[in-house]
Chains A and B, each alone.
Chain A
Amino acid sequence: GENVEQHPSTLSVQEGDSAVIKCTYSDSASNYFPWYKQELGKRPQLIIDIRSNVGEKKDQRIAVTLNKTAKHFSLHITETQPEDSAVYFCAASTIISWGKLQFGAGTQVVVTP
């Protein structure tokens, strides 16, 4: 089955700096890669996703890149703000089974003012 590895486990950045989280996956059939943000005690919320027919996608300060050949994808947050502090999860799935996501272990991002 699919295995998703996520690095780093913790990331501390100064406000205004950029943050990058990297994930690798094992199943070449995976073609849907969402990113979720989870604040303490809250539900995971989708912040951006990318499908395998796209190499990069941006939404304001957030961008995701996908390298299918190398089986890795990354989340980039620019101009970080204190409200970006949370745990971020990457995930992978196939189009056929979108309801079955394989999550990474998560990255705790701390943005210090």
Chain B
Amino acid sequence: DAGVTQSPTHLIKTRGQQVTLRCSPISGHKSVSWYQQVLGQGPQFIFQYYEKEERGRGNFPDRFSARQFPNYSSELNVNALLLGDSALYLCASRSDYTGELFFGEGSRLTVL
């Protein structure tokens, strides 16, 4: 079974640009969460989606948005990029049975 897959793995953008990050959960998992991990810090919760509905939102500006598709894959969009948005963006899917959260390898975003 494939784990959580994310794309792209690395990307470089300039300030003011927009970025879309993609995530495919583990087969059978209906819940997807997004986290931002700045170098040297713990992951910070951005969004949680379950069955295509937003179930939670962290303390991030409206420049951050997300959605979940019928196949449970998800996209995270960030508009008007700032230097401070440079981070590792992690997607995680959750097992309904055990509650365990499984992380993907992440998308490393660098904003210049």
Which residues of A approach B to under 8 Å, CB–CB? 6, 32, 34, 36, 42-46, 49, 89, 91, 95, 97-106
Which residues of B approach A to under 8 Å, CB–CB? 31-33, 35, 40-45, 48, 50, 55-56, 58, 90, 92, 94, 99-106
Nearest-CB residue, chain A, relative to B32: A99
A106 to B43, CA, bound (A): 9
A98 to B94, CA, bound (A): 8
Taking CB atoms, residues of chain A closer than 8 Å to B99 are 32, 95, 98
A65 to B41, CA, bound (A): 24
Which of A36, A91, A99, A103 has the largest count of B CB atoms less than 10 A from its CB? A99
A22 smallest CB distance to B (angstroms): 15
A93 smallest CB distance to B (angstroms): 9
Taking CB atoms, residues of chain A closer than 8 Å to B92 are 99
